[in-house]
Amino acid sequence: MSDYLPPLRDMDFLFNEVFDIPAWWALTPALAEQVDGDTARAVLEQAGRLIAEVVAPLNRRGDEQGCRWDAGQVHTPDGFADAYRAFAADGWVGVAGAPEYGGMGMPKVIGAQLEEMLNAANLSFGLYPMLTAGACLALLNHASEPLKALYLPPMYQGRWTGSMCLTEPHAGTDLGLIRTRAEPSADGRYCITGTKIFITGGEQDLTENIIHLVLARLPGAPAGPKGISLFLVPKVLVDADGALGEANAVSCGSIEHKMGIKASATCVMNFDDAIGYLVGEPNKGLNAMFTMMNYERLGVGIQGLALGERSYQGAIAYARDRLQGRAPNGAAAPAQSADPIVVHPDVRRMLLTMKALNEGGRAFSTYVALQLDLAKYSEDAAARARAEARVALLTPLAKAFLTDMGLETTVHGQQVLGGHGYIREWGQEQLIRDCRITQIYEGTNGIQALDLVGRKLLADGGQAYRSVSAEIGAFAEALPAACAEFSAPLLAAVRNLDELTAWLLDRAQDNPRELGAAAVEYLHVFGYTFYAYLWARMAVVCQGHPAPEPFHHGKLGTARFYFARLLPRIHSLSASVRAGSDSLYLLEAGQL
């Protein structure tokens, strides 16, 4: 597989030319002395260098070796432990962590770019620090001060990792069914008993301790989701001074044998009267855990984007080098026996689709990350509230659309390579296998779509949706006539989305099945429309650039391709939404 090249130029373009993020940092007291454009560039360059040189070369080896389970112990592939120590030593685990507990304190918009680079280089490796960062966020927002002071510094330092223990054998997405018990002890601690499955990084040999965040029920707790509490359960008990003590009653019963991400340990975890500590209030565990889950959902979306980027890099390198056939309009390289396949229309269609979805996805993930920063750091209370509502609305879209497009992109990458794409040595088939899980974990994409149409559109009376729609419409209407090639189809797309939203919500009042029947197609209409907004923003920057470079010309051409060949997908998807749910129920269950 080709070497991984961090897309630093495109990230810099988004930061400085599209969103003008450093200017906002300079006006925000909480960030003005912490970060600027030069700092961001230096951070991403340094992280990208380590990721490309140390982490990326382990990707294929990790897939071939996988994790090994032996008598309760998990062994990661050769080289993972050394690479993790190098990654942690540079402070990257805590890049967006709270400075008062040893984190680097970078804004999320920087952390999101680092996540993309890490996951593109090696998704299995990236899952270990990703779960740790999410666990840290949950503790930062919900744990008591003594727990934060004791556990966050070594987690930010990468000496300890974190895990998220939700799912049980009988309870997948429906967490209200969990049976893990938490019995209070006289010393204020709790004894946790139960079994959790599909636990990423539940056991590994990278760090000296693992901090499990475990959902469990207290005695007499209400049934269902309202009776769930959250507990911190360390693998190794920790003394008051931070020193490691004896092993806790936590064990790994086995690891899963998976389609992809084979170097990420996916564990069955057993808790047998393990000592734990309550995080947050009793019976409010889901509220605390959703802090971590929503963080992970954007992170999973970024995983889909990252794998699409890695696939594109391999596909474009192959297409420029592979000689086969002649260009339709005559030989492009007459001195050679054949032309590179990049000249063929269908190959260009696939490559441009990959490029447009990747660069649109990067703009989208950056936009959502910026909203998270606005919600956290803005001095304007109204701006914070608006950003929080926007993040809630866009999180299911980010998780599902980015990963759906990621799988499409990796499949295109494999197709560009033809038979070589089906062979392990070229790396494309691994990217497809790894990407497939991103549509499943952290809530399947169907559930994300249901969350979007069944909750987020209605959560505030539709205000967050109207705010996003108004932003897109105002941008398009303000464009000059010279930009009509982008403004006209963008206006038409957002008006279609407005009408589709109103139609769907109206139909659902009389027939609840309509939401579930239309949710996925609706989410895709939303996604393609939002990408069109971001592509229009990027195109306008390039059109008006005072000294355009080849980069800007390429970006403008890709924008035109997106509007010509990808945005029109909304028409067939909208027709599917309007077709309703009746055709899904023409057959009895036994006829399916």
| Distances in whole angstroms, Cα of residue 356 to Cα of each of 349, 383, 400 | 10, 30, 17
Give me the sign of the Cα torsion angle 135, 155, 87, 214.
negative
Length of the chain: 592
Q: Looking at residue 173, what DSSP letter applies?
A: S
Considering only CA atoms, which of 167, 183, 169, 283 is closest in space to residue 224? 283
User: Looking at the predicted structure, is the pLDDT value of residue 173 above 70?
Assistant: no
> Residue 175's pLDDT is what?
72
Region 554-575: what's the mean pLDDT?
98
Torsion region of 241: left, alpha or beta (phi above 0 gives left; psi -120 to 50 gives alpha)? alpha
What tokens were used for 31? 């960030």
Lowest mean pLDDT among 170-179, 365-374, 533-542: 170-179
Q: Are strands 209-216 and 160-165 parallel, antiparallel or unpaired?
A: parallel
In Å, the largest CA–CA distance within the chain is 84
In which band, very low, low, confident or very high, does the pLDDT at 106 lie, cut at 50, 70 and 90? very high
What's the number of CA atoms in the CB half-sphere (13 Å) around residue 592?
Answer: 6
User: To the nearest whole percent, how much of the chain has pLDDT over 90?
Assistant: 93
User: Looking at the predicted structure, is the pLDDT value of residue 155 above 70?
Assistant: yes
In which band, very low, low, confident or very high, does the pLDDT at 290 lie, cut at 50, 70 and 90? confident
> Residue 234's pLDDT is what?
98
> Residue 460's pLDDT is what?
86
Do residues 482 and 542 lie in contact, with contact meaning Cβ atoms separated by under 8 Å? no
> Residue 209's pLDDT is what?
98
User: Looking at the predicted structure, is the pLDDT value of residue 143 above 90?
Assistant: yes
Q: How far apart are CA 416 and CA 332, in angstroms?
A: 19
374 φ/ψ angles, rounded to the nearest 5 degrees: -60, -45
Beta bridge partners of 269: 196, 252
Q: How far apart are CA 501 and CA 514, in angstroms?
A: 12
> Residue 1's pLDDT is what?
63
What residues are annotated to the active site?
442
The amino acid occupying position 529 is: T
Region 111-123: what's the mean pLDDT?
98
33 φ/ψ angles, rounded to the nearest 5 degrees: -95, -5
User: Looking at the predicted structure, is the pLDDT value of residue 2 above 80?
Assistant: no
Do residues 301 and 399 lie in contact, with contact meaning Cβ atoms separated by under 8 Å? yes
Q: How far apart are CA 186 and CA 427, in angstroms?
A: 55
Lowest mean pLDDT among 240-249, 289-298, 392-401: 289-298
Each residue's pLDDT tens digit, 494-522:
999 999 999 999 999 999 899 999 999 99
Q: How many CB atoms lie within 10 A of CB 321?
A: 11
Considering only CA atoms, which of 345, 307, 310, 313 is closest in space to residue 327? 345
Contacts of 405 (CB under 8 A, 6+ apart): 304, 305, 308, 357, 361, 527
Q: How far apart are CA 256 and CA 145, in angstroms?
A: 36
The pTM for the full model equals 0.96
Beta strand residue intervals within 222-290, DSSP E: 229-234, 236-238, 244-247, 250-255, 266-279
Secondary structure (DSSP) of 409-446: HHHHHHHHHGGGGGSGGGSHHHHHHHHHGGGTSSS-HH
Each residue's pLDDT tens digit, 198-250:
999 999 999 999 999 999 999 999 998 899 999 999 999 999 999 999 999 99
Contacts 24+ apart (CB under 8 A), 332-335: none
Q: How far apart are CA 514 and CA 521, in angstroms?
A: 12
What tokens were used for 353? 């689709």
Q: Average pLDDT of the chain?
A: 95
Q: How many CB atoms lie within 10 A of CB 65?
A: 17
Each residue's pLDDT tens digit, 42-53:
999 999 999 999
In terms of Cβ atoms closer than 10 Å to its own Cβ (0-12, 13-18, 19+), residue 562 is buried
Do residues 95 and 111 lie in contact, with contact meaning Cβ atoms separated by under 8 Å? yes
Region 263-285: what's the mean pLDDT?
96
Beta bridge partners of 199: 267
> Residue 172's pLDDT is what?
64
